[in-house]
Amino acid sequence: MALGLMFGGSATAQTQKRASDLTLNDIFSSPNAAAAQAVSFSAGPNNIRFVLDRSQPRVVLLRFDGDPEVWALTSQWGPRGDEFLRNDIGEVIIRITTLGGVTIYGPLGTNGGLASSEGKAKTLSAPARSEGTLQATLEKALRWFDKFSSRSIRVEASGALPPALVYEALERAAQGMSRAPRGYFGRPERRVKLIRVQRSFDRPSVRWQSGILTIGVVPGSGYAGRPSSAAVLLALTKGN
């Protein structure tokens, strides 16, 4: 479903705009050196909130309140000057018009409604450093996957990966699996036996074959260095 977001009318030159009246052009393209890199929005009757963050050089980050996932979106420009922000499986998540209007196609299935800017927000920092070892990270992640199989699912990591990146990749894998239809992994050919996280040297990847879910990650790329939950779900359910 699409969630259409539009912003309030313009103010006179003598009147300072309220935060709720600012467009993305006002906030992100201000000539002021202190212009915001991250902006908070609220939308619809359920007061859905999200943060859009342009502090990174190659991606735009998006996070909905109440959802731990940070989406790393790439920008494409349309023939009319509109900007389209896509996730890592090519879905358009946000459309921004030249006039500052925004349409968000949410992975959370929101019903749509008007939204307003709530002003500057904190940037979405890189995945937090893990306080434990890689082995401790793997053991902690195991409990996420217990509900998907009556048998134990193994997890492993290779390539001298940072524990924080492994944790982030496994959390997205669990989130993607949780969005599969109920009972989806009950059939023998769909049972996940092993989740392997390994180093990828060009771009994140996810592959599902013969009961093994292989996740390729790129250290040093922040949230753009691992596949999204949508990519995990697509790999697991494509063709089934």
pLDDT value, residue 34: 40
Q: Which residues contact 52 (CB under 8 A, 6 or more apart)?
A: 24, 38, 39, 41, 60, 61, 62, 94
- Does position 147 have pLDDT exceeding 90, yes or no? no
Q: CA 65 from chain center: how many Å?
A: 12
Q: Tell me the per-residue pLDDT of 87-107, one tens digit each, with 9 for 90 and over.
A: 999 988 887 878 777 777 764
- DSSP element (H, E) containing 199: strand 194-199
Rounded distance between C-alpha atoms, residue 174 and residue 145, angstroms:
6
Under the banding of pLDDT at 50, 70 and 90, the label for residue 218 is very high
Among residues 69, 57, 53, the alpha carbon closest in space to that of 171 is found at 69
Written as one string, the DSSP assignment of 47-67 is TEEEEEE--SSS-EEEEETT-
Q: 111 pLDDT exceeds 70?
A: no
Strand segments (E) across 107-172: 115-120, 154-157
pLDDT reported for residue 156: 94
188: phi then psi, degrees, rounded to nearest 5: -55, -40
Tokens found for residue 186: 């009950």
